[in-house]
Amino acid sequence: MADPKLSLRGHKGYLTRLRNFIVAINPHTATRSNHVTYFKNIADTKAKIDCVVQELYERCADEAEADAVTKETEPIFDELCKLQEMLDTWNEEIIKKETTTTAGPSPANAAIPQAQVTQKPKLPQLTLPKYLL
């Protein structure tokens, strides 16, 4: 199996890339598919980091090494929490957008009668002269 410290570094780098992508997207323009994709990626990354951290704790010989592992991994878990909070704000904005679009027709559209929308204009009949050769 790979060295857990190297695996943790790799997962930490991936987490940084995820953070950069998430920060680049405005919560007001985020879509449901963005939210679902990043939510799954963060959950998968958190599960992988949990496994690696557990493996690091198992390799600790004394309390000092365990404290060093805790000191190294706390910022990573803090970053995960921050990203999940950002995704929660995305979800709130997305829900607001979904409820406003499914609320029904806007008052401006309700004022137009259906007859006007489907009515075609009447054009005059033109008669063209016939030329014989």
Largest CA distance in the chain: 112
pLDDT tens, 7-22? 999 999 999 999 999 9
User: Average pLDDT for residues 22-48, to the nearest whole number?
Assistant: 91
Spans of all domains in the chain: 4-91
Cα–Cα distance for residue pair 19/32, rounded to 1 Å: 18
Closest CA to 19 of 81, 91, 69: 81
- Whether the per-residue pLDDT at 36 is higher than 80: the answer is yes
Residues whose CB is less than 8 angstroms from the CB of residue 31 and which lie 6 or more positions away in sequence, other chains included: 94
Closest CA to 48 of 15, 95, 82: 15
Global confidence as pTM = 0.70
pLDDT tens, 66-118? 999 999 999 999 999 999 999 999 999 999 988 887 765 555 555 545 545 56
Res 117: pLDDT? 57
Q: Please tell me whether residue 117 adopts helix, strand or coil conformation.
A: helix
Cα–Cα distance for residue pair 84/30, rounded to 1 Å: 15
Res 1: pLDDT? 57
